Amino acid sequence: MRIDIKSHIRSVPDFPKPGILFYDISTLLADSAAWQATMDELAEIVCDWRPDVLAGIESRGFLVAAPLALRLRRGFFMVRKKGKLPGPTIPYEYALEYGTDTIEIQTDAVKPGARVVILDDLLATGGTMRAAADLIRKVGGTVAGAATILELTALGGRQKLDFPCASLAVYEG
């Protein structure tokens, strides 16, 4: 059943700072029927990319990727900020508008040649999504695609991606 995902998203003005309109998926998660329909739509999209494993970007991407991986009977791994994963990790430093940031995956997260689909709640500037893809490729994985619940097109994130990306709800402004 296709649903109007936007009707289940709460807009929070001036969060986390003045001038930002935050799209809160908590209200979507709280509605079991809407959340199930969201997972149904994502499963249909992601299946077409034939993934071996799903990657969730910290932290709301975990909420999307983990249940979807279970449903699709695929593995799941976390893409986290530096210092958040136990055991040996592989870091990837990437440029921000002002400075750099580092993400990591565990060393055994991606087998060479594995088809990976990246999931997150939101595609905005595309910086973290692109960094996750670059890290997956660095360790020998293939990025089959990416999917998000929401996309903010005004921030141009999709233009930074060189792989298929699907978003269930698009905000133009």
What's the burial of 68, exposed, middle or buried (CB within 10 Å: 0-12/13-18/19+)? Answer: buried
**What amino acid positions are annotated as catalytic residues?**
60, 97
CA dihedral 19→56→156→18, nearest 10 degrees, is 0
Count CB neighbours of 125 within 10 A.
15
CA gap 48, 96 in Å, rounded: 32
